[in-house]
Every structure is written in structure tokens, then in C-alpha cells.
Amino acid sequence: MKDCCTPKGGAYDLAVIGAGSAGFSAAITAAETGARVALIGEGTIGGTCVNVGCVPSKALIRAVEGLHHARAANRFDGIEAGAGVTEWAATVAQKQALVEELRAAKYSDVLPRHDNIDYVEGRARFDDEGRLTVDGDAFPAAKIVVATGARPHVPAIPGIKTVDALDSTSALELTTLPDSMLVLGAGYIGVELAQLFARAGVLVTLVSRRGVLPEAEPEISEALEGYLSEEGIRLARVTGYESVAHDGGSVRLTTTAGESYDAARLLLATGRVPNSDRLNLGAAGIETDARGGIVVDAQMRTANPNVWAAGDVTGSDQFVYMAAYGAKIATRNAVAGEVRSYDNGTMPWVVFSDPQVAGVGLSEAQARAAGHEVVTSVLPLDAVPRALAARDTRGLIKLVAETDSKRLLGAQILAPEGADSIQTAAMALKAGLTYEELADTIMPYLTTVEGLKLAAQTFEKDVAALSCCAG
């Protein structure tokens, strides 16, 4: 990696602030156009996903998945199995080795392959005249892409700073498992981590104000809540949080209704906030929303005509693949003079719970709020042959379509292998298929994705009256 200030001949064509997935996407995209690029990073290179997000969490989720499958093996007659944690520190060390391997392969080792990218270690900030600086020194660049990501949100609960609360980063670094844990927040991070630690043997209480996955279809949220409860996770729906305090060797959470919940550790999964507060954006004429997300237009441009922003710092679509996608659009517009627009209309998303939750497009509520007359199909997983063969019928599939045109508007899947099926629904929406056309699509038998075909048929047929593979 190179550490330098200004290229020979003057300013950079593009300065990229942030060396995570969005930042690398922006820098590489700009370099491919022939631009001279400065990639400005502070701290560990690679950003959230590889270091403290997607990679470590999914590695540990997969590890404890093996424990669950062993314990559930007796659903097949004549089979018994068992599994348990013998050394959690070794599991965490293996996870960390993967993080370091991928950080090198996908980030550090990538930079030398691009001669026109200079890596600059330092803190970027706009000065009071709106000029870009690094560690206080002027840093000339014709165009700028801000890609500084986000960090875990710490809610303003009295006492929260006195109890050494875990967040999604520090929880994945624990080398010793606590006996019990309160997980505050039941969005995708809270659900994933609650199930992870419960399967590892921790007594988990999942506390939330809006229930499990409140943004998902209600049928899916309700079903997943039941499955988590069956695994021994205590679910607590509260109206608000009054205080947090130590109580002997435990942490006690008191709600506004006077209820109290105790555990050895408290894990905060209450969302993420954009890393925009230390950039002095106002001096550069860059606007932010109420949560600190940088406001951009459809071309990813800020209110400053020479500055674009992409990724989690914008406060929307906080997924690594959307960060990279948005950064590519922002950069092409910035350095190549293009007018590309960001489009998340067919953005697939996944929650790595078990069963997995995945979706694309509009939910039923969103479709109705947008003015569509809709019809829906809900197919329980016990109508899918793959689930019957696996003797695991946890889940359902829900499709949303326009009533008159029959055009598909959205899909959500709750299934043990649902994540790998959602892209088929995304492609169907991208192509503008009707549910009749999806129902006529040839899909392989005894796969989870076949459930999409069955769900599409369910709009107008009783699939129980069909033989195998009948369409």
C-alpha cells in the first residue's frame, strides 16, 4: 500500500473518503476510467462487512448451525446425534483468521493491482472553508466521493454507558460465552445474534418495542417469532426503556412499564448510524438527514456539486452489495460525466436467521401505500416437497401482485434455504413477470426455489390438487 499526499502535477481527479466496500468500489471504478485516485482510509482497512459485519457474523452463524442440525437430527427415524461447544475461543479464532484472510485478499492485496490508486492513511475532514483536508493538511481533489460507512447506534437509555454493553462488533469478539444475555432490538442484527448465541448455549432474552423483524411481512414476523421461541429464546415486547444498571453480577434493564429483565451481558442491536458527524459536512454545503445520513439525489450527488456519497453513510440500503453498487454509480457520474441513477426497486435482502428470511420488491403494506390494488398468495412450506423431504417445514412464501395486470410487485420467503431462492424472485420482478408467467416457469423438483412456482400457482389454483411437478 502507498501512503502519500498529492500526485505529481497537482490535484487528484477523485478523492474517496473511506476504505470499505463502497470506498474500494469507487476507487477501482475511477481507476478503470484512467483517473488518478486517492483512497483515504482511517483505521483498519476493509470497512464493516469484512472486519466486523457480514463475514464474522455469518461464519459464527454457520458454526452454531451445525449444533442445531445435530440436535434436530432425530426428526429422521433411526437417527440420533449430538453436538456442543468445546472451546468457543477456538471457534472465534478461526473466524478471525478468515476475516484477516479476506481482508488481505479482497482489500489490501487489491491496491497494488491499480497503479493509479494511492492509498492515504489519515483522517479526512472539510475545513471551515469547505476544502478537503487530511490530518489537517489541504488535500486537493477535483471530485470527492464520501463513503465513510456507519457504526452501531447506542440508544439514549439512562445508565447505558455504565454497564459495558456489547454491540455487534464486540459480541463477535467474545472468547468466553456468558451464561445469559439480553439482546436489545429485534431487527436483522438482533435476530441473527440472538439465535447465534442461543444455539451456542447462552440463555437469551430478545427485547424489542416493535416485535421480531417489524419491516417484514406480518405473517413472516409472527412465524419466525414462534420458531425462535421454540429454540428457547425468550421474547419480550416492551413499550420503552427506562434505565439500565448493574445489579450484583448482572445487568438489569427496566422498562417504562416497570418490568425488569436481567442477564450477565447486554447486547445492543438497535440499528446503525452514519459516520458523518466528524466530517464538518455543513462547511462544504453537504446536507444530512435527521439521523445523519448524507442526502443525495438519484445520481448519488450531494448538495455540493463536486461531492457524491455512497454506502451506509447515506443511511439507506445498508447492505455491502448496495454500497458497492451505489459507489460505482456515484463514481461513474463524478469522473466520467455520466448520468446514471441508483435503482433499488429489485434489491434482494436476506436475514441469516434459521429459517432464513429473504425478500425483494414491495411488501403488501408498501404496495397498498403506493396506491396499488393488490392480490397476495401465501404458501406454507409444508406444501413444498423439498421441505417435506427434509422433514423441516418451518416457513412460508408470500407473493404480492397487482390485481388487474397480475404483475408481481414483491416476494418474501421464510425457509431454511430461502436466501438462495430470492434471486429468482428478484429476476422475475426485474423482468416484469406476472404471477402466471412465474407459475409457468420450469423449476427443478425438490428444491426450495420450486416453492416460488407453487406460490405463484396458488393465486388461482389449489396446489394440493396438483401432482408432482404439475403446472
Domain boundaries, the chain: 12-46+107-152+273-336, 160-270, 349-460
Distance of alpha carbon 68 from alpha carbon 59, whole angstroms: 15
CATH assignment of 349-460, among 3.30.365.10, 3.30.390.30, 3.80.10.10, 3.30.70.2660: 3.30.390.30
185 assigned binding-site residue: yes
12-46+107-152+273-336 and 160-270 in the same fold: yes
58 assigned binding-site residue: yes
pLDDT given at position 466: 77
463 assigned binding-site residue: no
Burial of 351 (0-12, 13-18, 19+ CB in 10 A): buried
CATH topology of domain 160-270: FAD/NAD(P)-binding domain (3.50.50)
164 assigned binding-site residue: no
Distance of CA 238 to the CA centre of its chain: 24
> Which residues does the chain have with pLDDT short of 50?
1-3
| Nearest CA-CA partner of 454 in 388, 402, 404 | 388
122 assigned binding-site residue: no
- The class (CATH top level) of 12-46+107-152+273-336 is alpha beta
pLDDT given at position 3: 46
Helix pair angle (54-71, 88-106), 10° resolution: 140
Distance of alpha carbon 183 from alpha carbon 42, whole angstroms: 30
149 assigned binding-site residue: no
DSSP designation for 389 = H
Distance of alpha carbon 273 from alpha carbon 313, whole angstroms: 8
188 assigned binding-site residue: yes
Q: What is the pTM of this model?
A: 0.94
pLDDT given at position 9: 52
189 assigned binding-site residue: yes
Question: Residue 355: is the preceding peptide bond cis (ω within 30°)?
Answer: yes
pLDDT given at position 53: 94
% of the chain beyond a pLDDT of 90: 95
